[in-house]
Amino acid sequence: MANDTPKKMTLWRVKAPGQNDAIVNAADSVAAGVEAARVWCVPWKEIAAYLEVSYEGEQYMRRCPKCGRTFYTPTLADKWSRCKPCTAREKAYKARLHRSIDAKKRAERGK
């Protein structure tokens, strides 16, 4: 199957004491709790009472064209959008580039 066909998902953020937040795809908040328990490898019955589920919206599952990591995005507007770490890295790189260009210009002016 082609990886570039984004899949639309209904995402939920599930919190429970002692667990990292889980982002899961599920039809409703109850199913999200069950899915999160599965992700954490914890019996759902034991944590059901402590679950905190919030709706994250419908999002597409994408694969980052740069690093191949899976990430979620609400729109398909930008076909080449990248995952958060890659976007951050790129932003930092551009900022560094601009700084070095500025420094070069300043040095040239200073002559």
Q: How far is the CB of 66 from Zn ion (least distance, A)?
A: 4
State how far the Cα of 2 lies from the Cα of 107, in Å rounded to an integer.
50
Total of residues contacting Zn ion (CB under 5 A):
7
Residue 30 · residue 66 · CB < 8 Å: no
Residue in 41, 33, 28, 35 with CA at minimum distance from that of residue 15: 33
Query: Does residue 61 bind Zn ion (CB under 5 A)?
Result: no
Query: Does residue 83 bind Zn ion (CB under 5 A)?
Result: yes
Dihedral, CA of residue 87, residue 89, residue 94 and residue 96, to nearest 10: 160
Query: Does residue 34 bind Zn ion (CB under 5 A)?
Result: no
Q: Which stretch binds Zn ion (CB under 5 A): 1-9, 50-58, 61-69, 103-111?
A: 61-69
Query: Does residue 86 bind Zn ion (CB under 5 A)?
Result: yes
Residues lying near Zn ion in the complex (CB under 5 A) are found at 64, 66-67, 69, 82-83, 86
